[in-house]
């Protein structure tokens, strides 16, 4: 027998309706941010000296004049969501969020961030989200494909995605690099103790070496290896700053005093994480000899509300592209 429901008050019903509309339409914030990136709005504001009115942006972006009132609505939503700042006079400026979306601006050598929002708002990710209910109803034998694979018969960061859409596959890798390298400047400034006393370090899944180069810049005495798959390493030009190693962390990790896993483990199942950590243990000396594994990752349960929501959203992203992650 179903439990008797408590009828909400009028005030609660009004709030519920507003909450329902907000949840249903929040995707428009993401779409507006994508639109701003594709139009080049953060870059235009930066090139205009850091502030810009609506007419300034229309001219700088060479947009048709009849579109001005519609651009105003996009900008208003972005300002409400802190992607832009806006004065009462309608003058827009960059916030920290939009600053990291300016074309050509790198922070402490970190990767450009525009690829991440463009990738996760691509039609492939949107369609995999639309297929979630169907994925749950599907009674397939293990191993169960991810919702992304269920819809597209391809997986991100896999040859199947390369064959399906080479351009989007490239974008996904650029987004992965942006995600993985973000924050390393803060780490080397605020967590210097992690690297004190180290003579060598291997960065697993280090991609193009952006993170390793930032470490070497801050600690020139540390010799850094960058381990990644051959298809990644073969595209990276040797820079003489770090040592690039083509390989697979499931099979072997280049020996070093420390091994770093920055934003790596959250993509793998518990069983795979154990295998990765076992190889890391083989690569380092004993604790008494200064051996350590440095893990930097997203951890559910942050005390900051906005970060906690981001953690849950990232968890949903991992579930959508890799259902083996629990």
List the catalytic residues: 266
DSSP string, 243-311: EEEE--TTT-----SEEEEES-GGGS-HHHHHHHHHHHHHHS--GGGT-EEEEE---S--SSHHHHHHH
| Cα separation of the two ends of the chain | 33
Give the angle 123-31-131 at the CA atoms, nearest 5°.
35
- Nearest 5°: CA angle at 151, between 145 and 155? 55
Query: Quick one: CA dihedral 259, 254, 251, 173, positive or negative?
Result: positive
Neighbours of 207 (CB within 10 A): 24
């Amino acid at each position: 027998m179903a439990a008797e429901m408590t009828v909400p008050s009028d005030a609660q019903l009004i709030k519920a309706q507003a909450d329902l509309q907000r949840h249903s339409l929040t995707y428009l914030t993401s779409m507006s941010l994508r639109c701003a990136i594709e139009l080049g709005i953060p870059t235009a504001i930066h090139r205009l000296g850091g502030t810009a009115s609506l007419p300034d942006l229309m001219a700088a972006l060479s947009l048709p004049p009849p579109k001005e009132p519609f651009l105003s609505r996009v900008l208003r939503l972005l300002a409400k969501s802190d992607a832009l700042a806006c004065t009462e006079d309608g003058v827009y400026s960059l916030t920290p969020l939009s600053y990291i979306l300016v074309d050509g601006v790198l922070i402490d050598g970190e990767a450009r961030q525009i690829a991440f929002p463009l990738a996760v708002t691509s039609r492939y990710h949107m369609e995999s989200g639309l297929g979630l209910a169907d994925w749950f109803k599907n009674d397939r034998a293990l191993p169960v494909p991810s919702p992304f694979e269920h819809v597209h018969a391809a997986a991100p960061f896999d040859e199947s995605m390369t064959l399906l859409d080479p351009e989007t596959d490239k974008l996904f890798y650029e987004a992965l690099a942006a995600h993985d390298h973000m924050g390393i400047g803060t780490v080397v400034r605020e967590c210097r103790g992690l690297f004190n006393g180290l003579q060598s370090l291997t960065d697993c899944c280090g991609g193009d070496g952006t993170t390793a180069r930032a470490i070497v810049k801050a600690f020139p005495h540390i010799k850094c290896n960058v381990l990644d798959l051959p298809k990644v390493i073969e595209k990276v030009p040797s820079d003489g700053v770090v040592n690039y190693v083509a390989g697979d962390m499931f099979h072997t990790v280049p020996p070093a005093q420390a091994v770093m896993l920055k934003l790596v483990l959250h993509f793998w199942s518990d069983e795979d994480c154990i295998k990765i950590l076992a190889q890391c243990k083989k690569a380092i000396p004993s604790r008494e000899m200064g051996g350590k594994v440095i893990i930097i990752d997203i951890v559910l349960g942050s005390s900051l509300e906005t970060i906690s929501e981001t953690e849950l959203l990232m968890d949903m992203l991992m579930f959508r592209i890799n259902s083996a992650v629990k």
